[in-house]
A and B are shown apart, each in its own frame.
Chain A
Amino acid sequence: MKHLLEVKDLEVTFALRFGNLTAINGISFTLNRGERLGLVGESGAGKSVTGFAVINLISKPGYISGGSILFDGQDLTILPYDQMRDIRGNRISMIFQDPMMTLNPVLTIGTQMVETLQAHRNISRKAAERIALDKLRKVQIPSPEKRLKQYPHEFSGGMRQRIVIAIALLSDPALIIADEPTTALDVTIQAEIMELLLELCESEDMGLILITHDLGVVSQVTENIAVMYAGKIVETGPTADIIQDPAHPYTQGLIRALPGSLQAGTRLNQIPGMMPTLTDIPSGCAFHPRCPFRNAVCEQLPPELIQLAGTRRTVACHRVAAEMGRPVSGDLNPFTGTLSGESNG
Chain B
Amino acid sequence: MFAFVVRRIAQAVFVMLVIGLIGFSIKQQIGDPVRDIVGVSVSVAEREALREQLGLNDPFLVQYGRFLKNALHGDLGHSFFFKKPCLDVILAKAPATIELVLVSSLMIVILSIPVGMYAAIYPRRWLSRIIMGMSIVGVSIPVFLTAILLIYLFSIQLNWLPSYGRGETVALWGWNSGFFTLDGLKHLILPSVALSSIMLPLFIRLIRSEMMEVLETEYVKFAWAKGLHRWRIWLLHAFKNTLLPVITVGGVQLGILIAFTILTETVFQWQGMGFMFLEAVERSDTSLLVAYIVFVGALFVVVNTVVDVIYGLVNPTVRITGRS
Contact = CB atoms under 8 A, between A and B. Distances in A.
Interface stretch (A4-12, A84-92, A250-258, A260-268): A84-92
Interface in B153-209: none
Nearest to B237: A104
Residue among A103, A119, A120, A164 facing the most chain B CB atoms (10 A cut-off)? A119
Interface residues of A, number: 30
Contacts of A104: 219-220, 222-223, 237, 240-241
A342 interface: no
A116 interface: yes
A106 B219 CA distance: 11
B240 A107 contact: yes
A88 B317 contact: no
B219 A55 contact: no
A98 B225 CA distance: 15
Number of chain B interface residues as a range = 20 to 34
B316 A96 contact: no
B221 interface: yes
Interface in A95-109: 96-98, 101-107
Contacts of A40: none
A119 B316 contact: no
Given A151-B320, A154-B320, A106 B225 contact: no
Contacts of B223: 104
B226 A105 contact: no
Contacts of B236: 107
Contacts of A98: 218
B241 A106 contact: yes
A120 B227 contact: yes
Contacts of A130: none
Contact of B219 (A90, A102, A116, A154): A102
Contacts of A55: 225
Contacts of B229: 85, 119
Contacts of B241: 104-106
A59 B228 CA distance: 17
Contact of B237 (A86, A90, A96, A107): A107
B232 interface: yes
Given A101-B218, A101-B219, A103-B219, A151 B224 contact: no
A131 to B, nearest CB: 14
B271 interface: no
B237 A85 contact: no
A115 B225 contact: no
A11 B62 CA distance: 82
Residue among B217, B228, B241, B317 facing the most chain A CB atoms (10 A cut-off)? B228
A106 B228 CA distance: 17
Contact of A89 (B220, B228, B232, B320): B228
B226 A102 contact: no
B22 to A, nearest CB: 39
The 9 closest A-B pairs by CB, nearest first: A88-B227, A89-B226, A89-B227, A101-B218, A104-B219, A94-B225, A151-B316, A102-B222, A119-B228
Interface of B: 217-229, 232, 236-237, 240-241, 244, 314-317, 320
Interface of A: 55, 57, 59, 85-90, 93-94, 96-98, 101-107, 115-116, 119-120, 151, 153-154, 164, 167
